[in-house]
Amino acid sequence: MLDAQQTGMTEDFRFAAGSALLSARLYHPMTNPERVVVLNSATGVPRDYYQHFARWLAETRGMACLTYDYRDFGHSLTGSQQRSKATMTDWALIDIPAARAEMRRRFPKAELWSIGHSLGGMFGPVQPDIDQIDRMICVCSGLVTLADHPWPYRALATLFWYGHVPLTVQALGYLPGKAVGFGADLPAGVYWQWRKWCTAPQNYVPDIGDTLPLARWAETGKRVDLFAFADDQMVPPSAVWRLADLYGSGAQRHLLSPKELGLPKVGHIGVFARRNAVIWPRLLA
C-alpha cells in the first residue's frame, strides 16, 4: 500500500498489481464488516462513477467496498496511454485478482464478495483466484458478439469495430474516447483485444485453455448471480446467459426490466447511477 490518505469514511491509496500501481478508494462502514466487496468496473468506466453505490454499501449494509481504476486508466494512469502496453487480459487476470488480494489482506476474516460490472464479471470463470471469492455478482456482464446487438445499435457497434475507430486507434496509438463518442480514452492494447472478442462468434471462449486459463468456476460450487436488463443494447440478455453457461449450471439468472422497477430506462451503464438506487437491494438479495 502506498500514499494512503483517509478522510472520514473513505480512504485513498495505491496497491500493487504485478508491475503496476492501481489507484483505489475504500469506503469504510461504521463497524467492523462481516462482508467486504471489491467492485470491478466496466470497460472505460472510472471508479468514481461507482461512488454512490459504494457509499450505500458501507452506510446501509455495513460492507466495506473497494473501488479502483485498472492500470493505465483513470486515476491509475501516470503517463501517456500512447506508451501503454496494457491489455484487457491484464485488467482481467492481474488487476482484478490484485484488488481482491488487497481486500483479503485488509479483512482476512470477512466474506469477500466480487461485484463486477460488464468487464468486471465477464472473466470470472477463468480468473486465477476463484478460491478467494465467497460470492460473485455479475451486472450486465456477458459474452457479447456483434450479432447480439439489436438494430440500430448494431450499426453503431459495427462502426466502432470496423469503421473509423480502429483507423483512429492505429493512427494515434490509443483510443481517444471522447473524440469518437465512446466517452473515455483507452490504451490501444485494451481496444484491440476488446475488438477481437466482441467481433468473434464465441467471444473469448476459443482462447480458454490457450491464452486464457481454464474455466474452473463450476468446480467450486460457490454462488454466482448474473443480472441482465431488458433494455441493455450493449450486452443483451442472450449474451449474459451465454456467460452464465460458462459459470456452470448453478449460476443464478435474473432478468430485470425498467418498467417493473418503476424506472424509465436502465440500459448498460445506468445500474449504478444514483437515480436508479431502487435496483441496488435486488443485486444483494
Domain residue spans in the chain? Answer: 2-149+214-284
**pLDDT range class, residue 196, cuts 50, 70, 90:** very high
pLDDT at 4: 57
The x, y and z cell numbers of residue 151, run together, are 438494430
pLDDT at 233: 98
* Rounded Cα distance, 114 and 9, in Å: 21
Percentage of residues of the chain with pLDDT beyond 90: 95
Angstrom CA distances, 33 to 12, 54, 98, stand at 18, 14, 20
5-38 per-position pLDDT tens digit: 655 599 999 999 999 999 999 999 999 999 999 9
177 versus 3: which is more confidently predicted? 177
* Rounded Cα distance, 240 and 236, in Å: 7
CATH for the 2-149+214-284 domain, from 3.65.10.10, 2.60.40.420, 3.40.50.1820, 3.90.1150.10: 3.40.50.1820
What lies within 8 Å, CB to CB, of 14 at 6+ separation is: 1, 2, 3, 21, 22, 23, 24, 76
* Rounded Cα distance, 97 and 120, in Å: 11
29-56 per-position pLDDT tens digit: 999 999 999 999 999 999 999 999 999 9
What is the reported pTM? 0.95
* Rounded Cα distance, 14 and 20, in Å: 10
